[in-house]
Amino acid sequence: MGSATIEMHGVRRLYEQADLVDLIALDDIDLTIEPGTFVSIIGPSGCGKSTLLRLISGQESADAGRITVCGLTPKEAAEAKAFGFVPQSPALLPWLSVLGNVTLPHKVNRRSDRGRPDLEALLREVGLGESLHKLPAELSGGMKQRTAIVRAFGLRPDVLLLDEPFGALDEFTREALQEQLLELWEQTRATVVFVTHSISEAVRLSDKVVVMAPRPGRITDVIDIDLPRPRHQEIITSPEFHAYELKLRDSLRDAFSHGEVAS
C-alpha cells in the first residue's frame, strides 16, 4: 500500500445510552491526513480522540460519513495489515520477554512484501538493549511503552496510531521518548496519528495539530506546525516553538469553553 492518505468526510459516531438520548461522540468530522505526515489530536477528555482512532483502524464503524485509508475502507486496510496501534496502556503478553513480545506479531502476521526489520537493533536504539530478555513485570512504565512502540513499528505499518503513549511518564522521559519516536518515524515515514494531552508534545512532533472539543465531539481547529526537522530537544526552548505553544494553548482554551457552553 505504501504511504497512506487518510480521508474523513462528514463522519459521525453515536453511542446509545440507557434512558438517555444518543451520545454524539463524533459529529461532522472532515479531515485529510497526507501520506507520511505526523498529525496530533488534542482536546478535552471525552471529545472523541480514542473513538477517532478506533474508526480509522476499523475497530468500529462510523454511523454516517465516509472514511478511506489509501482508498480502502478501514476494515479493508486493517485486513491488508496497514495499521500499527499503540493503545493507552500497552497490552504486553506477561509470559513473553521484551524480545518475545516484539517479535510475536511478526511471526503470526508475516507480511511478505516487507523485509523483517532488525527488531533487536530497534530495541537497542530505544535503550532496551539490556532488557531484551526481561518479562513485562520487570519493566518500568516507560520501558513497557517503548516495547509497545517498537512492536508497532516492527511490522512497518503504513499508518501508526498512538493513543497517549507517553501519558503516564515524567517530562524528561517523555522528551527522550519523543526523540526516539521521531527517529523511528524518520526511518519509516509511516503516516502517524498521535493522541496527546500535552501542548509541547503536539508542537514538537507534528506537521499538523487537530484541536477537538466535546459534546458533540468535533474538530474546532487545525494548526500547521511549520518548524524545521529534525526537531531535537533544543527546539523546545526556541522562540518559534514557544509561539506555536501559545497559539495552540489559545485554540485549546476555546475548545474547553465550547465544551462547557454546549453541555
Determine the Cα–Cα distance for residues 146 and 141; give it in Å rounded to an integer. 9
Instruction: Name the one residue in this structure whose C-alpha cell is 495499521.
Output: 83
Shortest Cβ 167–ligand ATP spacing (Å): 9
User: Do 22 and 101 touch, CB atoms closer than 8 A?
Assistant: no
- Interface pattern 47-76 for ligand ATP (x via CB under 6 A): xxxxx-------------------------
Determine the Cα–Cα distance for residues 134 and 93; give it in Å rounded to an integer. 12
Provide the 3-class DSSP secondary structure of residue 175.
Answer: helix
Give the one entry of ligand ATP, Mg ion, none that residue 51 binds, where binding means its C-beta sits below a cut-off of 5 to 8 angstroms depending on kind.
ligand ATP
Residue 237: count other Cβ atoms within 10 Å of its Cβ: 8
Query: Does 218 help bind ligand ATP (rule: CB under 6 A)?
Result: no
**Which uninterrupted H or E stretch holds 253?**
helix 239-262
Query: Does 23 help bind ligand ATP (rule: CB under 6 A)?
Result: yes
Using CB under 6 A as the binding rule, the residues of this chain from 106 to 125 that contact ligand ATP are: none
Paired strand residues for 160: 84, 192
Question: How many residues contact Mg ion, by CB under 5 A?
Answer: 2
Shortest Cβ 168–ligand ATP spacing (Å): 13
Residue 142 Cα to chain centre, angstroms: 16
Shortest Cβ 194–ligand ATP spacing (Å): 13
Using CB under 5 A as the binding rule, the residues of this chain from 19 to 58 that contact Mg ion are: 49-50
Beta strands 64-69 and 208-213, pairing class: unpaired
Give the one entry of ligand ATP, Mg ion, none that residue 220 binds, where binding means its C-beta sits below a cut-off of 5 to 8 angstroms depending on kind.
none
Cell of 94: 506477561
Q: Which is nearer to ligand ATP, 41 or 92 (CB)?
A: 41
**Single residue of 10, 15, 187, 257 touching ligand ATP by CB under 6 A:** 15
Shortest Cβ 134–ligand ATP spacing (Å): 29
What's the first-to-final CA gap in the chain, in angstroms?
42
Q: Which is nearer to ligand ATP, 136 or 217 (CB)?
A: 217
User: Do 230 and 203 touch, CB atoms closer than 8 A?
Assistant: no
Q: Which stretch binds ligand ATP (CB under 6 A): 3-11, 46-54, 97-105, 230-238?
A: 46-54
Contact positions vs Mg ion (CB under 5 A): 49-50
